[in-house]
Amino acid sequence: MSQSLYNHLRLNVFPTPYCPGCGHGILLGAVIRAMDDAGIDWEKTLFVSGIGCAAWIPSPHLMVDTLHTLHGRPIAYATGAKIANPDLNVIVVSGDGDLSAIGGNHLIHAARRDLGITVICANNRIYGMTGGQAAPTTPCGATTQTTPWGDEERPFDLCNLVRGAGGKFVARHTVFQIRNLIKTLSTALSTDGFSFVEALSPCPTHYGKLNKIPTLGDFQDLMKVQYIDKRRWDKLTPEDRKEKIPTGIWREE
């Protein structure tokens, strides 16, 4: 990262509280670079987050206005701030549980009303801060503290959900696809209307430990096989799609 980008960090709070191998630090770096690429005015930017590991990505690490809110409610807070001051660039960074379980209603309504904010969902497919319980994004069969015999429920496909609700720009990348992720975030930040980026982020500490993916390297190997470009995924047969998860852009208006 270039020296000038360090100015956007509160270096006094480093190192981050993230566990070894957590992808959230990579996402933090990607957000800063995307802000720079998109030419967003930091002084007119508000980062809003909820509760959970991902909610700590902007707060307190970024040297910018931050609003660290209640569990599930960052989008509701962001709605008020954006409408009260439309000149603010309002960016929500929070986790999958926060945004799609307890806060799912705010997510779909912000997309429906085409609120001019960007929502970045750090999806590690588990509740990390509380010790590893199942999330609405936990894959079928995955082991968590609350699904010790494998999750029997189907997970949300967040990109399809938000696209269905009316999001203007909707995309998904893993934190390992760093160039794509930064570019996608930058496009999202420049979108006029509601934009949503799902950033798949590994959680070796909880998800990995319970599902035999113990290290960041193991996650990287797995994700490389599992995640494929959406354009390729679209051409696969339903049978071949089963083991794969598409990444790319769902909608761009």
Partner 1 sequence: MKHTIEKVKSPIKPGEYFLMGDEASADGAIAAGCNFFAGYPITPASEIMVRMVHRLRETDGSFIQMEDEIGSICAMIGASWAGSKAMTATSGPGLSLMMEGLGYAAITEAPIVIVDVQRAGPATGQATRPGSGDVFQVKYGSHGDYEIIALSPWSVQEVFDLTLEAFNLAEAYRVPVFVLADESVGHLRERVIVPEEVERWNRPFASGAPPFDTDDPNGIPSMPAFGQGEHLLVTGSTHDGKGYRKTQDAATHEKLVKRLVGKIRNAADEISRCETYQTDDADILIVAYGFSARASLDAISEFRSKGVKVGLFRPVTLWPFPEKGLLETARGVKHIVVPEMNYGQVSREVERILHREITALPQVDGEGMRPGTIVDGIEQLIGRAK
Helix (H) / strand (E) containing 33? helix 24-38
Nearest distance from C-beta of residue 175 to partner 1, angstroms: 24
The nearest distance, CB 213 to partner 1, in angstroms, is 29
Taking the C-alpha atoms of residue 84 and residue 92, their distance in angstroms, rounded to an integer, is: 16
Beta carbons of 247 and 229 less than 8 angstroms apart = yes
Helices 74-84/104-112 angle, 10° precision: 30
- Closer Cβ to partner 1, 89 or 177, answer by number: 89
**Residue 235: is it exposed, middle or buried by C-beta count within 10 angstroms (0-12/13-18/19+)?**
exposed
Q: Report, in Å, the least distance between residue 143 CB and partner 1.
A: 29
- CA 35 to mean position of chain CA atoms: 15
CA distance 81 to 196: 18
Contact positions vs partner 1 (CB under 8 A): 13, 43-44, 46, 48, 59-60, 63-70, 73, 76-85, 87-88, 105-106, 109
| Calpha distance 172→223 (Å, rounded) | 13
The residue whose two tokens read 């794509």 is: 180
Closest CB to partner 1 among 43 and 239? 43
- For partner 1, the closer CB: 67 or 216: 67
Q: For partner 1, which is the closer residue by CB, 127 or 219?
A: 127
Cβ of residue 80: shortest distance to partner 1, in angstroms?
3
Rounded CA separation 140/213 (Å): 16
> Which one, 60 or 148, has the nearer CB to partner 1?
60
β-bridge partners, 252: 169
Q: Least distance in Å: CB of 252 to partner 1?
A: 26
The CB-of-226 to partner 1 minimum distance in angstroms stands at: 34
Lookup: tokens for 228: 């494929």
Pick 106 or 125: Cβ nearer partner 1:
106
